[in-house]
Structure 1
C-alpha cells in the first residue's frame, strides 16, 4: 500500500507540472515575463521600422515622411519627405531598407506609390544619406502596377547583396500568374537596379510568382520567408524558392480542393508553411534568436493588422517548417504593421491605426 501511494503521488506531481506550463511558451527555455514601453507616439500610419547601424529606429510614414527615432531619449527626428509620394488607400511610402555596409555605402532604399501620367504606379528609389538628410535619388525600377489595395512593398537585402521587393497583384488577380507583369511577385535586383544574371528567368526581375499581397519578408540564414494576405481566408507564411509558383489566384492556401490539386500538380505550386482562416491580416516579419527573450528563440515574429496581435512562429531546427505558434499583445495597441529586433535583443513594433500611432518596445520585465 505504501508503494502504491508513493506511485500515485509521483504521477500527480508530474501531471500538475505539465498542466501548469505557461501557455505563451513554445520553447524548452525558461520564459521571462515581458513588458511593453511606448517609445514614440503621434505618428500617422507608419509602415516600416528598421533598427539602424546608428542605433536609431528608422521609420516611414505613408504620407512620404522618413524619420529617425532615438529609442533611449524617445526623440523623433524628421529626416526627409519624398515629394512625389501619393498616398491612396493602402498605397503611399511603404518599405525601406538600408545598405548592409551603411557606414561605407550610406544608401537608403525605399518603395512607394506615385502617379505617372495620372496612372497609379510603384517604384523603388535609392537615396544617399548625408548630413542628416537624403540626397541624390536614383530610380532603380518604376512603373510597377499599383492600386488602392494590394501593393506589397516590403524590401530586403540578402547576404549576397541582392535587393528583394514584394509586389501585390494591385487587385488584378490574374496578373500574379503572368510572367510579363511585375504584379504579384517577389522581385530580385542588383543593388544598382540591374537584373541579376542568375535570376530564374533571363532578363527578368521575377524571383517567384503567384502571390496576392506579400507584406512581410525576412531571411533566416539562407532561407527567405514571406507573409501573404489572403482574401477572406488563407493568410499565409511561405518559404520562398527561386522560380517557383505560389498559386494565387488559382490556389488559396493549401492545394486541398480537387481543382486546386490539379493546378498545383500541373504548375509545381509551393504550398504555404501555415495558413489562417479566417484571416489575421499578416503584415511585417522579423526573425528572433536572441537570449534576451529565451522563449522566442529561433522564431519568426509576425505582426497582424486585423487580429491586432504579434504571433510567434517557432521554427524547427532546420528552419524549414513551423512547429508551433503563440499570441502576444492581442488587442493591445491596436493594429500592428511592422517589427524589428534591436542590437541587444529587444523588439520594436509599430502600429497602424491611422492616428496617434506608436512605436512600442518589448523586453523582459526589469
Structure 2
C-alpha cells in the first residue's frame, strides 16, 4: 500500500514561498511574551489521578476523553472529576516519552463511532509506532484495524498528534525518533506529517503518489489543530527554535538542516534549494511546546481568535493571538506559569471552557479554566 519512492525530486517541483517575519520579531524572530491577567478567569483541578496523560479531547458524550502513555483510554466527567476506563491497550509499550499517545474521534461520531489512536509497541523486538482504528461500542473499544504501521519509535521524539481535516482525512505527526537524518529521508516515515483516508488508504491527491507523506523535515511535532482548512502545528526544536508552523502540502520544514527561520548563510542556501517553509513563530531559548488548540468562543472573549499552547519546559499555558488573516502571531500571553507543572495538551468544550492536562509523572491533573 505504501510505495516509498524517489520523492525528493518531486518535492523540487513545488512552489517556494517564504514566510515574512513579523515586525514584532526580536533577535531570533521571537514575539515577546507578556504575563496574561487571570482576573477574569477561574481555574480548578477536576482530578489529580492521571499518570503521564498525552491526549485530551472533548467527547460526544460531553466528557473528556484522555489517553495515558501506559495504555489507558478513559473518560472523565467534568462535573464530578470521576474517571471511567474505556480501554486498556495491553500491547502498548511505554519507553521514556513513548507509549499510548495521540487520539482523535470521528467527526460524525453519532453515526460512525470510530476512535483513532497511535501508539508504540514492540514489533519483533523493534520499538515501532502504529495507527489503529477502533469502534466504540458498549462503553469500550472493539474491532481494531491497523491503518499505518512500521513508523520508527524511540524513547524521545515520537511526535504523534492526530487531527481530522474538514474533508475527513487523518493527519498524523511523527518525530524523527531520535535520529535526525530520518526527517529528510523520503524513504523513512519518521520526521513526517502523514495524511491518509479514514480507512487507511492513501488519498489520490497526496503530494507524493503512493505515499502517505504530506510534509517532511520535522523534528518532534507534538501539537496539531485545524482552523477551518488551515493546519497549525507546534514543534520542539533542539537547543534553539521551538516552532509554530502552518502545514502546507508537500513542503519541507527543514530539520535537521534548518532550525527555525532561514536566517544563517547555510540555512538560506538550503531553504532556497529545498523550498523550506518557515515557522510563523519561533522561541529561543526553547520552551518545549506540546498540545495546541484554537479558541473561538465568547466565554473567554480575550482569548477569542487565538491558538492556545500547552508548554512543558516553562510549565505554562500560552495564548498566541493571531492576526486577522491567521498567518502570523501578534501577541503572546502566559498563564498559570509554574502553578500546575508541565502542561501537555488542551481541549475546549462547546461552551468555551478550556481543559488542560499536566505531564509531571505523578498525580497528573486535569484542570478546567473558565470565564467569570
The runs of at least 4 aligned residues of structure 1 exceeding 3 Å deviation read none
Following TM superposition, by how much is the alpha carbon of 1:24 offset from its aligned partner in structure 2, in angstroms? Answer: 2.5
Task: Find the residue that maps to 1:254 and give its secondary structure.
Answer: coil
Task: Find the residue that maps to 1:153 and give its secondary structure.
Answer: strand
Q: Aligned equivalents of 1:324 and 1:239: distance in 2? A: 17
Alignment of 1:80-99 (within 5 A): 80-99=87-106
Are the counterparts in 2 of residues 184 and 211 from structure 1 also a CA contact under 8 Å? yes
In structure 2, the residue matched to 1:24 is: 36
Cα-to-partner distance string for 1:290-315 (whole Å, 9 max, x where unaligned): 00101100000000101100110001
In structure 1, the residue matched to 2:323 is: 316
Alignment of 1:33-182 (within 5 A): 33-182=40-189
Q: TM-score, normalised by structure 2?
A: 0.90
Following TM superposition, by how much is the alpha carbon of 1:317 offset from its aligned partner in structure 2, in angstroms? Answer: 1.0
Task: Find the residue that maps to 2:94 and give its secondary structure.
Answer: coil
Are the counterparts in 2 of residues 32 and 293 from structure 1 also a CA contact under 8 Å? no
Task: Find the residue that maps to 1:266 and give its secondary structure.
Answer: helix
Q: How many residues align?
A: 339
For CA contacts below 8 A with separation 6 or more, give which structure has more relative contact order: 2
Task: Find the residue that maps to 1:143 and give its secondary structure.
Answer: strand
Following TM superposition, by how much is the alpha carbon of 1:33 offset from its aligned partner in structure 2, in angstroms? Answer: 1.1
Q: Which one of 345, 348, 363 corresponds to residue 341 of structure 1?
A: 348
In structure 2, the residue matched to 1:10 is: none
Following TM superposition, by how much is the alpha carbon of 1:324 offset from its aligned partner in structure 2, in angstroms? Answer: 1.0
Are the counterparts in 2 of residues 32 and 364 from structure 1 also a CA contact under 8 Å? no
Following TM superposition, by how much is the alpha carbon of 1:32 offset from its aligned partner in structure 2, in angstroms? Answer: 6.0
Task: Find the residue that maps to 2:270 and give its secondary structure.
Answer: helix
Q: Go from structure 1 to structure 2 and tell me whether the alpha carbon gap of 1:199 and 1:162 turns closer, same or farther (over 3 Å shift).
A: same
Are the counterparts in 2 of residues 32 and 295 from structure 1 also a CA contact under 8 Å? no
Task: Find the residue that maps to 2:272 and give its secondary structure.
Answer: helix
In structure 2, the residue matched to 1:11 is: none
Q: Aligned equivalents of 1:39 and 1:105: distance in 2? A: 29
- Structure 1 unpaired stretches of 5+: 1-21, 26-30
Cα-to-partner distance string for 1:177-227 (whole Å, 9 max, x where unaligned): 111111101100000001000000000000000000000000111110000
Following TM superposition, by how much is the alpha carbon of 1:40 offset from its aligned partner in structure 2, in angstroms? Answer: 1.2
Are the counterparts in 1 of residues 93 and 99 from structure 2 also a CA contact under 8 Å? yes
In structure 2, the residue matched to 1:17 is: none
Cα-to-partner distance string for 1:127-185 (whole Å, 9 max, x where unaligned): 10000111000000111011111001000001100000000000110110111111101
Are the counterparts in 2 of residues 69 and 77 from structure 1 also a CA contact under 8 Å? yes
Task: Find the residue that maps to 2:302 and give its secondary structure.
Answer: helix
Are the counterparts in 2 of residues 141 and 193 from structure 1 also a CA contact under 8 Å? yes
Q: Aligned equivalents of 1:134 and 1:32: distance in 2? A: 42
Following TM superposition, by how much is the alpha carbon of 1:23 offset from its aligned partner in structure 2, in angstroms? Answer: 5.6
Are the counterparts in 1 of residues 35 and 335 from structure 2 also a CA contact under 8 Å? no
Following TM superposition, by how much is the alpha carbon of 1:285 offset from its aligned partner in structure 2, in angstroms? Answer: 0.1
Are the counterparts in 2 of residues 111 and 122 from structure 1 also a CA contact under 8 Å? yes
Q: Which one of 186, 209, 233 corresponds to residue 202 of structure 1?
A: 209
In structure 1, the residue matched to 2:28 is: none
Q: Aligned equivalents of 2:39 and 2:248: distance in 1? A: 35
Structure having the higher Rg: 1
Computed over aligned residues only, the root mean square deviation of the Cα atoms, in angstroms, reads: 1.1
Q: Aligned equivalents of 1:130 and 1:246: distance in 2? A: 40
2:255 maps to 1:243: no
Task: Find the residue that maps to 2:321 and give its secondary structure.
Answer: strand
Following TM superposition, by how much is the alpha carbon of 1:41 offset from its aligned partner in structure 2, in angstroms? Answer: 1.2
2:264 maps to 1:257: yes
Alignment of 1:184-223 (within 5 A): 184-223=191-230
Following TM superposition, by how much is the alpha carbon of 1:106 offset from its aligned partner in structure 2, in angstroms? Answer: 0.4
Q: Aligned equivalents of 2:277 and 2:165: distance in 1? A: 21
Q: TM-score, normalised by structure 1?
A: 0.91
